[in-house]
Structure 1
């Protein structure tokens, strides 16, 4: 069962890049409840980049601060180099995001709500399906500035 937009019907394959195990597991449960598939959880930049290349996710939720330091920006740059992967930062450290957002489409501020996660995934699913998204940015999400 999908939350949010009924028109966005395809399950997305999602990589969770988060070093806090409880947060990662909570997000994985939320994604499952929304009808999506978590293809992996990574706590370090090396693991995240390797999983991103091997698992071929549609979306990567990336925290800024990982086990190996503030390396989420590096992960976002590496993953967003693949045009098939949509990168979304999920962090309480938005000040560490560079002006170009390292290729990410935007940031979900922590703590986040289920509604924000569901809305962004519906937005991404609509874009991937060639449909115009039905809504702008939900509260708690900030799009990257246009290039």
Structure 2
């Protein structure tokens, strides 16, 4: 397999990670594009000691953690909403937390990606966990037609300190529940059993009020093509509890910081 094929194979999940880290499709893709440009200029930057996937994430981490790209004046030139830039949680713990929980890297691989050692990775992940735990509890709407998955999600979010306002199994159920109870977070399957779409339901709801959304699908790569607007927060089935916790916390944190940075924001 050629180098370009290897990059193409792992690019969708790198883009998922980038948007989870930055909070938006535009900003995540801006950093991925910067990484690809660097790789085109110097292919030797790809260190494949731990395989091509870890090599790509390692190069991305170098770009993300570079002083130039993370300088405020440089960030303004990238197509990303500055109000969604996380400033309170330090970047390195968030990276370790997401690499472990969202992307499923081992501690050794995360150490390689972040140019550190395993003991430091553990400290970083613990720090991120403590900071994420400071999130304010919220009301959660679950859009999921598979009974056992819905039960798992309900149990999980309750254990995280959130309140589940309902489980919707169809597009129409989701619309009715959300308009009645106004959730603070939505966990949504994309393809529902009756043929309706969780993605369509969420898009309809977002026309009337703002809420962070985490999408759950067995085929994330189908929604990471770059050909249309894509979910900022995407979890693969089957999922691990830590993955849901990490991504939901990221989504809530970006939402909270966006509101805090908006002067005289309306409260509904």
Q: Give TM-score, length-normalised by structure 1.
A: 0.75
Structure 2 unaligned residues grouped into runs of 5+: 1-127, 259-268
Q: Which residue, out of 69, 81, 102, partners 2:207?
A: 81
Q: How many residues align?
A: 126
Distance of 1:57 and 1:96 partners within structure 2: 27
Q: Quick check: which has more Rg, 1 or 2?
A: 2
Q: Deviations over 1:7-59 (max 9, x none)?
A: 32x10211100000111011100001111111110001110111111110011
Give 1:95 deviation, angstroms: 4.9
Indicate yes or no: 2:163 matched with 1:37. Answer: yes
Higher helix share: 2
1:28 maps to what in 2? 154
Structure 1: segments with no counterpart, 5+ residues: 132-147
Query: In structure 2, do the counterparts of structure 1 residues 125 and 74 end up closer, same or farther at CA, with 3 Å as the change threshold?
Result: closer
Partners of 1:69 and 1:95 in 2: CA distance: 20
For residues 1-147 of structure 1, what are the structure 2 equivalents within 5 Å?
Answer: 4=129, 5-8=132-135, 10-97=136-223, 99-101=228-230, 104-130=231-257
SS at 1:38 equivalent: strand
Bigger share in strand: 1
Separation of aligned partners in 2, 1:11 and 1:35: 6
User: Over aligned residues, Cα RMSD in angstroms?
Assistant: 2.1
TM-score (norm 2): 0.43
Residue by residue over 1:69-115, the C-alpha shift from the partner in whole angstroms, topping out at 9 and shown as x without a partner, is: 151221121122244211221111335547212xx422111111111
- Classify the secondary structure of the residue corresponding to 1:69: coil
Is the 2:233–2:251 contact (alpha carbons within 8 Å) kept by the matching residues of 1? Answer: no
